[in-house]
């Protein structure tokens, strides 16, 4: 995995802003009443995030450290204003339903967080990919939330009737409590899958170590440790090749105490 | 030395009452209410009750099996939750309302937080509120009893005439279990007799509520108005059977009083100033959420350590 795809993987899965870092909870909970709203919000944030990462990465050597937060906010706010006007002009319906949450992207902690933690320290290309990864991770999580809530709370997905005619919508799903229920379920599911994968990886590594261990153990000579006296060197498997030679010599020089510490720390087979 | 010295950690004195005995005792105490409800609303109420009980028990069983936990369905707590939930539903609700409510009560309110003893609010009431928010029209569509399908509280709020004698006996509209005050009080006496509950929480709750109604109700001490509010809606069922739930009520003596006052004030607020006629379920689950805080500030001081000296 090269560093660019690593950035994408990091944003989408490993440090997903919604399910792992729990950033930007306000738009996550408030705007995901339908699939379109969720994805719309996610894409707005994605655009602002990528552009702000690029601009801040370009300016990272110019912005003085003391005023970096106000500087970041000015950059982000300008970009959000552009996005807001574009939304109002080209997607008036979506802009209407997202309402105040579009201008509130300015204070979305994912954007300021990535500016502070990543873009202000890394090159333009990497920062852009970081923004794409994080933004896509956010968009996908919001899309899933919006889709599930719309499906159960309204019986539709993206406005199309999915549930059979007799289905009575569970309207709590499109209300505020439903956002918490679905988000909790999503986080639990992602955490479960991640921990299963982690466990499998660890088991695999442990199994590999087990098969390799005997070979390693054979190759390593049996070394006597700090307790050995200089005269033991001849009988030892390492025959002085393990650093005990030093031990023997220094012992002869009368520095036994000092050296024995060295042996304890460095001479033992791991 | 002989081997008769048995060393174990506390508690050393054990009561013969077990969790399941308590649960079944409460279920028995609910029987008069249940039987009256079925008599009052007809056999369709039986379907609602059975659907919620079966759903609760099955959900608990499946969850505990799936999570490789000990299966504790036999302790009766899930069946009790199901029964309480069913008693809080209107008799003409479709069967899937009971099923959905049961799944929500056991899965979301109880098991996800750690099962019996760990739930942060009363599962039956949590599920009722979930259903009430989700399916408002179904949950407030009560069958017609006598001449009116409006609940006595709704009629009272609308300024219509009400018959307090019918309300006392239970020949009114409402959820399956809430109509008959007499049947609920028989159950409450059973619970008090066997010392399953003590009178502090329901007593303080009802007393505070009466005071609140008298001050803010706009009718002063009009006995008809106060009786109607006491007998109407879920106050009695909630006060005796749900506010007293061990898991979600405070254990400290002072805390129980505060909890009762909170319940009374909230119920009064919802009924007098709220837009809907009833507020007992919301009052109880909101108070449930406050229980850890109440317990934290009313913890009795240990005997011995100086005031402020002991820090645990």
pLDDT at A210 over 50: yes
Query: What share of chain B in percent tops pLDDT 90?
Result: 54
Q: Are residues B42 and B176 in contact, defined by beta-carbon separation less than 8 angstroms?
A: no
DSSP letters, chain B, are --S-----PSP-S--S--HHHHHHHHHHHHHHHHHHHHHHH-THHHHHHHHHHHHHHHHHHHHHHHTT----GGGSHHHHHHHHHHHTSBTTS-HHHHHHHHHIIIIIIIITTTSTTT-SS-HHHHHHHHHHHH-HHHHT-PPPBTTB-S-HHHHHHTT----HHHHHHT-S-SBTTTS-HHHHHHHHHHHHHTTSS-SHHHHHHHHHHHHHHHHHSSSTT-HHHHHHHHHSTTHHHIIIIITT-STTS--SHHHHHHHHHHHHHHHHHHHHHSSSS--HHHHHHHHHHHHHHHHHHSPPPPSSSPTTT---
Is there a domain that residue A175 lies in?
yes
The answer to whether residues A61 and A123 belong to one domain is yes
Q: Residue B289 and residue B293: Cα distance in Å, rounded?
A: 8
User: What confidence score (pLDDT) does residue B307 get?
Assistant: 63
Note whether B134 contacts A170, CB cutoff 8 Å. yes
The answer to whether residues A241 and A180 belong to one domain is no
The answer to whether residues A159 and A242 belong to one domain is no
Q: How confident is the model at residue B254 (pLDDT cuts 50, 70, 90)?
A: very high
User: What confidence score (pLDDT) does residue A238 get?
Assistant: 53
Higher pLDDT, B235 or A259: B235
The answer to whether residues A257 and A156 belong to one domain is no
The answer to whether residues A7 and A73 belong to one domain is yes
Q: Residue B211 and residue B215: Cα distance in Å, rounded?
A: 6
The answer to whether residues A120 and A243 belong to one domain is no
Partner A contacted by B95 (CB < 8 A): no
pLDDT at A17 over 50: yes
User: What confidence score (pLDDT) does residue A223 get?
Assistant: 52
The answer to whether residues A255 and A181 belong to one domain is no
Lowest mean pLDDT among B116-120, B174-178, B212-216, B308-312: B308-312
Q: Which residues of A touch B135 (CB under 8 A)?
A: 168, 170-171
Instruction: Find the mean pLDDT for residues A53-77.
Output: 93
Partner A contacted by B138 (CB < 8 A): yes
User: What confidence score (pLDDT) does residue A270 get?
Assistant: 39
Pick the most confident of A167-171, A233-237, B173-177, B261-265.
Answer: B261-265
Q: Which residue does chain B place closest to A172, by CA atoms?
A: B134
The answer to whether residues A24 and A157 belong to one domain is yes
pLDDT at A90 over 50: yes
The answer to whether residues A138 and A183 belong to one domain is yes
pLDDT at A231 over 60: no
Domain end point (choices A138, A172, A195): A195
Is there a domain that residue A212 lies in?
no
Residue A169's Cβ-count burial label (10 Å; 0-12, 13-18, 19+) is: middle
Note whether A168 contacts B138, CB cutoff 8 Å. yes
The answer to whether residues A166 and A240 belong to one domain is no
User: What confidence score (pLDDT) does residue A266 get?
Assistant: 45
CB atoms within 10 A of CB B219: 15
Half-sphere exposure at residue A87, Cβ-oriented, CA atoms within 13 angstroms? 25
Q: Which residue does chain A place closest to B130, by CA atoms?
A: A172
Is there a domain that residue A153 lies in?
yes
Is there a domain that residue A115 lies in?
yes
Q: How confident is the model at residue B161 (pLDDT cuts 50, 70, 90)?
A: confident
The answer to whether residues A140 and A262 belong to one domain is no
User: Considering only residues 152 to 171 of chain A, which have any Cβ-Cβ distance to chain B shorter than 8 Å?
Assistant: 168, 170-171
Phi and psi based region of residue B90 (left: phi greater than 0; alpha: psi -120 to 50; beta: remaining): beta
**Backbone phi, psi, residue A161, to 5°:** -70, 120
Higher pLDDT, A246 or B235: B235
Query: What CATH class has B19-297?
Result: mainly alpha
User: What confidence score (pLDDT) does residue B279 get?
Assistant: 87
Instruction: Find the mean pLDDT for residues B234-259.
Output: 92
Q: Which domain holds residue A261?
A: 230-266
Per-residue model confidence as pLDDT tens digits over A106-146: 988 899 999 999 999 999 999 999 999 999 999 999 999 99
Is there a domain that residue A55 lies in?
yes
pLDDT at A260 over 50: no
Q: Which residues of A touch B66 (CB under 8 A)?
A: none
Q: How confident is the model at residue A268 (pLDDT cuts 50, 70, 90)?
A: very low
Residue A1, CA distances (Å) to A8, A9, A106, A114, B35 in order:
10, 9, 32, 21, 68
Number of domains in chain A: 2
Is there a domain that residue A216 lies in?
no
Is there a domain that residue A24 lies in?
yes
User: What confidence score (pLDDT) does residue A267 get?
Assistant: 44
């Amino acid at each position: 995995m090269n560093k660019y795809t690593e950035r994408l993987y990091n944003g989408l899965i490993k440090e997903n802003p919604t399910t792992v870092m729990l950033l930007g909870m306000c738009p996550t909970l408030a705007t995901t009443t339908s699939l379109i709203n969720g994805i719309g919000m996610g894409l707005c944030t994605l655009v602002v995030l990528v552009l702000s990462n690029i601009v801040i990465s370009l300016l990272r050597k110019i912005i003085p450290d003391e005023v970096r937060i106000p500087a970041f906010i000015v950059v982000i706010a300008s970009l959000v204003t552009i996005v807001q006007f574009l939304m109002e002009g080209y997607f008036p319906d979506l802009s209407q339903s997202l309402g105040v949450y579009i201008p509130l992207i300015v204070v979305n902690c994912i954007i300021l967080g990535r500016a502070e933690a990543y873009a202000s320290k890394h090159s333009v290309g990497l920062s852009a990919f970081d923004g794409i990864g994080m933004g896509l991770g956010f968009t996908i999580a919001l899309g899933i939330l919006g889709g599930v809530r719309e499906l159960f709370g309204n019986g539709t997905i993206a406005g199309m009737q999915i549930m059979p005619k007799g289905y009575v919508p569970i309207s709590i799903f499109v209300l505020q409590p439903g956002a918490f229920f679905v988000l909790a379920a999503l986080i639990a599911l992602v955490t479960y899958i991640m921990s299963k994968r982690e466990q499998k990886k660890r088991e695999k590594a442990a199994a590999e170590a087990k098969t390799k261990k005997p070979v390693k153990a054979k190759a390593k000579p049996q070394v006597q440790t700090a307790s050995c006296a200089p005269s033991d060197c001849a009988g030892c498997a390492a025959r002085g090749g393990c650093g005990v030679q030093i031990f023997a010599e220094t012992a002869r020089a009368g520095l036994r105490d000092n050296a024995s510490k060295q042996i304890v720390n460095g001479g033992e087979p791991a | 030395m002989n081997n008769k010295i048995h060393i174990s950690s506390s508690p050393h004195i054990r009561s013969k009452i077990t969790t399941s005995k308590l649960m079944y005792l409460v279920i028995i105490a609910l029987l008069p209410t249940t039987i009256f409800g079925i008599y009052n609303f007809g056999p369709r109420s039986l379907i609602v009750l059975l659907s919620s009980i079966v759903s609760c028990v099955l959900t608990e069983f499946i969850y505990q099996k799936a999570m490789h936990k000990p299966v504790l369905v036999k302790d009766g707590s899930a069946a009790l939750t199901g029964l309480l939930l069913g008693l809080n539903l209107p008799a003409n609700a479709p069967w899937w309302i009971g099923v959905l409510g049961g799944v929500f009560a056991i899965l979301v309110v109880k098991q996800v937080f750690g099962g019996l003893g760990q739930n942060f609010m009363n599962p039956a009431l949590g599920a009722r509120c979930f259903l009430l928010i989700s399916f408002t029209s179904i949950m407030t569509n009560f069958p017609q009893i006598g001449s009116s399908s409006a609940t006595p509280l709704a009629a009272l709020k609308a300024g219509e005439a009400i018959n307090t004698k019918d309300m006392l006996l239970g020949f009114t509209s409402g959820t399956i279990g809430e109509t008959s005050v007499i049947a609920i009080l028989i159950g409450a006496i059973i619970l008090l007799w066997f010392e399953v509950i003590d009178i502090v929480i329901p007593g303080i709750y009802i007393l505070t509520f009466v005071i609140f109604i008298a001050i803010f109700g706009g009718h002063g001490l009009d006995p008809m108005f106060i009786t109607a509010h006491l007998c109407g809606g879920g106050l009695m069922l909630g006060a005796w059977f749900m506010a007293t739930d061990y898991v979600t009520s405070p254990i400290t003596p002072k805390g129980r009083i505060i909890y009762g006052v909170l319940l009374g004030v909230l119920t009064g607020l919802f009924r007098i100033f709220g837009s809907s006629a009833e507020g007992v379920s919301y009052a109880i689950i909101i108070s449930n959420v406050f229980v850890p805080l109440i317990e934290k500030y009313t913890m009795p001081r240990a005997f011995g350590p100086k005031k402020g000296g002991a820090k645990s």
